[in-house]
Structure 1
Amino acid sequence: MNGKSKEILDELKSVLSGKTIDALFPPLVFVIINGLLGLEVASVISILTAVGFGVRRIFRKQDLKYALGGLLGVLVAVGFAYLSGNASNFFLPKIISGTFMVLLSLGTLLIGKPLAAWLSHLTRGWPMDWFMRKDVKPAYREVTILWTILLAFRLIIQILLFRGRNLSQMFWVNTLMGTPATIIILILSYIYGIWRLQRLEGPGVDEYMQGKEKPWRGQRKGF
């Protein structure tokens, strides 16, 4: 594995941590059990599955945030489905959250503080002033535009499938356009972002924090 591939892999691990099964498995259980035994049984078993992941992490002394996030997501989704008596509404929270993300991403572009910059600032702790420099900000704005387009595309597909009430298709589309799509988008965002920062010829974040003057090496790792 060359240096760039290892760098990208390390970036993905820091974001995804390989622990998304806690959020993916309970919806799969819901879809399968709903087709076999009905909505009520599917609701109970999917919740128990999510609780099971939490218990498993407790025994292994692992971080509970993924299991708790998965459990909360299942409880909300099951609530929508059970109270309405419609299994398709299990995926309604994803449509709602997807709509929120599209509006949020678009809103950050309109106010001139791109979502990609905010997320990097929050996860890495880099100073926001660096992200807002004229020789840095365009890279994050362009990546955010890409995110907005892809998020809107996913939302449109989710809405169309939701209207068609095809539960199995909704599950597979949500799954494939969830983690796998996120991985691809993160890889493309990272590769493009680093390339764009180099072309903008601004300082790397370390150079900025150290107050270095030109000539700068620029940002070579981390976006």
Structure 2
Amino acid sequence: MQTTSPQEAASDMQTAGQRKQKSALEQAGGTKGLVFSALPPVVFVVANNVGGLKAGVAAALLVALGIAVQRLTRRESIQPALGGLFGVAIAAGISWYTGSAKDFFLIGIWASLAGAVAFVLSVLLRWPLAGLIWNSATGKGTVWREDKRSRLYYDIATLVLAAIFGARFAVQQYLYQADEVGSLGFAKIAMGYPLLAVGFLAVAWAARASNKRLKAMGLLPAQRA
């Protein structure tokens, strides 16, 4: 299963904060990384339509395993591949157990709802996750919380992420209820990295605006802005 979970989104945000010089596409593993992330669900849908559920499960697992092996042999970072392999294995296991192809997408659907709720709650608790994760990753701690305007910036970025995860849940849950397995596969890909890139842009905007204010207020040293 290759839907980006809230945990993966947080991990991606931390990596982006630590390596700001790299683009969002590079953080996702480049074009090859995007293609690799899309392959297991696409292969599952196609193989399921052609040969049934067992063929779909086997094909998705083999593709995910092949991606992990390919990265290992090329001495590339295999953490994303291992995470993808684990996700596909869990999704395939659930689908195999229930005997329903649409259940291959079940964990990703509910993970999206959990992410949306977590982001909204963090804003209500005045600890917006966008600010907490980004500033922890970049070593700025919680100084941003001393400025109400900075908190507002990160509130907005966090709510953008909440909207993204909420949209994923709403669309994919509708398709799940309608038994649209092929459309679920397409929605998983279309609402994955492309939408997450929008969220990263919102976080980057909030960080830039907050850093500018904190620097002007003397709360953030110039070299850390």
Under a length normalisation based on structure 2, what TM-score does the superposition of the two structures give? 0.80
Aligned partner (choices 72, 78, 87) of residue 92 of structure 2: 78
Determine the structure 2 residue equivalent to 1:144.
158
Aligned partner (choices 78, 91, 116) of residue 64 of structure 1: 78
Q: Quick one: structure 1 residues 40 and 122, their matched pair in 2 at CA, closer, same or farther if it must change by over 3 Å?
A: farther
Residue 157 of structure 1 pairs with residue 206 of structure 2: no
Q: Deviations over 1:75-118 (max 9, x none)?
A: 11101111000000000011121111012111211211101012
Unaligned runs of 5+ in 2: 1-19
Contact 2:175–2:183 (8 Å) recurs in 1: yes
Determine the structure 1 residue equivalent to 2:186.
172
Aligned partner (choices 126, 129, 132) of residue 145 of structure 2: 132
Contact 2:157–2:199 (8 Å) recurs in 1: no
Aligned partner (choices 52, 57, 63) of residue 43 of structure 1: 57
Contact 1:22–1:66 (8 Å) recurs in 2: no
Contact 1:130–1:136 (8 Å) recurs in 2: no
How far apart, in 2, do the equivalents of 1:142 and 1:175 lie?
25
How far apart, in 1, do the equivalents of 2:57 and 2:48 lie?
8
How far apart, in 2, do the equivalents of 1:21 and 1:133 lie?
42
| Pair member with larger Rg | 1
Q: Which amino acid aligns with 2:146?
A: R
Where relative contact order (Cα < 8 A, 6+ residues apart) is larger, the structure is: 2
Contact 2:172–2:184 (8 Å) recurs in 1: yes
How far apart, in 2, do the equivalents of 1:10 and 1:122 lie?
18
CA RMSD of the aligned region, Å? 2.7
Q: Quick one: structure 1 residues 33 and 14, their matched pair in 2 at CA, closer, same or farther if it must change by over 3 Å?
A: closer
Q: Secondary structure at the match of 2:22?
A: helix
Aligned partner (choices 208, 218, 225) of residue 194 of structure 1: 208
* Sequence identity (%): 21
Contact 1:139–1:197 (8 Å) recurs in 2: no
Q: Deviations over 1:16-73 (max 9, x none)?
A: 2322433321111101000001111111121111111111111101111011011011
How far apart, in 1, do the equivalents of 2:118 and 2:199 lie?
18
Under a length normalisation based on structure 1, what TM-score does the superposition of the two structures give? 0.81
Contact 2:214–2:220 (8 Å) recurs in 1: no
1:148 Cα shift?
1.5
1:10 Cα shift?
3.1
Q: Quick one: structure 1 residues 209 and 188, their matched pair in 2 at CA, closer, same or farther if it must change by over 3 Å?
A: closer
Unaligned runs of 5+ in 1: 1-7, 211-215
